[in-house]
Amino acid sequence: MLQPSHRPWSKVSAFLLSFIAAGLLFTTAAQGPITGVDSIRMDELRDKVTYIASEKFKGRGNGTRELNMAAEYIAGIFEKNGLKPASGRFFQSFEMYTSLLGTNNDMRIQGASASEWKLTVRTDFIPERWSVNGVVSGPMVLVERPGSSANLKGKIAVVKEGRGLADDPEFPENAATGHSLEAEGAIGVVVVQDPSDRREGEIAALAEAFRDDLPTRIVPMSTMDSPEYPKIPVVVVSGDVSKRLLPLLMNSQNKVEATVTADVNRKTFTTQNVIGLVEGTDPDLKKEVMVLGAHYDHDGEAYGQIWYGADDNGSGTAALLEIAEAFGIGSMKPARSVLLCAWAGEEKGLLGSRYYMSHPLFPLDRTVAMFQMDMIGRNEEHGADESEGIPEERASENGNTMNVLGSAYSPDLKAIISRMNDQTGLTLRFRYDFGAQELLQRSDQWSFLSKRIPAVFFFAGLHPDYHTPRDTAAKINYAKLEKAAKLVYLAAVDIANSPVRPKYIKPANGR
């Protein structure tokens, strides 16, 4: 599951700096019983988690050959169990990148004074690491927020940071803002800090993201073919520049123009979701799909240590593979199709599932529901969460508990999962749908839920080894993991065979 500090919209990049400075841190009844479920076994889950979280895969960092090796392993198990490659192959390949600062970044402002005001890259301004490259020149116009303003055609929009529509917390807010302003005609975007809300060292922190010596677990990444990003240059200016620039722009008598050159070098690499299809048997219903997902990437290695990611997310990946075997071994042929998806790029902002949503293998309106398995193998242990009214919990109390997140958006899914749990006997907790930790937004189910597809997140909960090198295979509760994998399999088959689709409902307090 995605860590808050790695969330792309996180503005607390000083946190990033401190990491670097420290150097090291850390059936339906009608169809009869569902067959195949007995093939999901804890000893096999233990073998799989131990393998996925072994030294061999070095923590499955994004952009590493070990992640590609893990993808081959997953595809091999899909193939052996008779799953079909939905798109002709098991890999849904896509490009990800890290960014380096180019040498041509430049920004000049005319009209501020008699002479030209030339800004210095890295101290006065910096392009966003996902900005397109190019030179734009035109009048600067201060806009209150996207959608609020006059004609932006041919103009460089200047907008205060934090004024965007943050309806998708897993997406960089400035990119969402830039995208909206581009749609209104802007040729470039300058993001300014509100001088009353100045974050010290913001520009320096953004510059850190361009370093080429960061370990994979820290360096920010994006997806190349992503329609949500603006296609115009977007730069951020410092608090000091904002302080001088904003008063100039607020006086409409001033004619302030700028020339902005953004130059970002993308270091691209190919990665992949691994997707296997269990084809439905009903001639009509087979065109609809139930999606099961688990991300298989994690944090990789750094400073001579491996972040093994046994729970995050060896547990969900192993469960997905046992479910592939259950479909392979059983005579269970669901009416609807079922898609098993091992996502890449989750730890970098749900990038694999986001890519899938813009390149789906079944139409989204025929995607009936989605289950995500992420961190389903440990006993929850954490301090109190006041925003959710949840007290401190100890691991010893949580040997058989499983959180199910997202049920507020689909009471139908809650009912199905509760009913199927009669066969698995977990202590289910339908919670964490809201609250300050935004847990529901922090794994791949959110990519589906934000597009109004009923989706839930199976999540055993946080623990002190979360995103540390101590998340190892020996610490997994395999009896719990077996129950969770069985429950996901049973509920997925039930949905795939049901004559009715589960409904999506937007709760009053939901995003």
Q: Interface with Zn ion by CB under 5 A: which residues?
A: 1, 312
Q: By C-beta, is 1 or 449 nearer to Zn ion?
A: 1
CA distances from 6 to 138, 151, 181, 350, 441 (A): 35, 36, 26, 11, 13
Question: What's the min distance (Å) between Cβ of 128 and Zn ion?
Answer: 24
Question: What's the min distance (Å) between Cβ of 100 and Zn ion?
Answer: 26
Long-range contacts of 173-180 (CB under 8 A, 24+ apart): 173/9, 174/128, 174/234, 174/236, 175/128, 175/130, 175/228, 175/229, 175/230, 175/234, 176/228, 177/146, 178/128, 178/229, 178/230, 178/232, 178/234, 179/228, 179/229, 179/230, 180/146, 180/147
Q: By C-beta, is 57 or 489 nearer to Zn ion?
A: 57
Q: By C-beta, is 279 or 438 nearer to Zn ion?
A: 438
Question: What's the min distance (Å) between Cβ of 370 and Zn ion?
Answer: 18
What DSSP character marks residue 393? B
Question: What's the min distance (Å) between Cβ of 94 and Zn ion?
Answer: 20
Question: What's the min distance (Å) between Cβ of 320 and Zn ion?
Answer: 16
Q: By C-beta, is 1 or 83 nearer to Zn ion?
A: 1
Q: By C-beta, is 48 or 217 nearer to Zn ion?
A: 217
Distance (Å, rounded) from C-alpha 216 to C-alpha 127? Answer: 21
Q: By C-beta, is 171 or 459 nearer to Zn ion?
A: 459
Distance (Å, rounded) from C-alpha 334 to C-alpha 492? Answer: 9
DSSP secondary structure string for all residues of 196-210: GGPPTTHHHHHHHTT
Q: Under DSSP, is residue 157 helix (H, G, I), strand (E, B) or coil?
A: strand
Question: What's the min distance (Å) between Cβ of 2 and Zn ion?
Answer: 6
Please say whether the beta carbons of 144 and 134 come within 8 A: no
Question: What's the min distance (Å) between Cβ of 384 and Zn ion?
Answer: 22
Q: By C-beta, is 168 or 312 nearer to Zn ion?
A: 312
Please say whether the beta carbons of 216 and 161 come within 8 A: no
Question: What's the min distance (Å) between Cβ of 339 and Zn ion?
Answer: 22
CA dihedral 462, 473, 420, 350 (to 10 degrees): 60
Please say whether the beta carbons of 336 and 288 come within 8 A: yes
Q: By C-beta, is 5 or 137 nearer to Zn ion?
A: 5
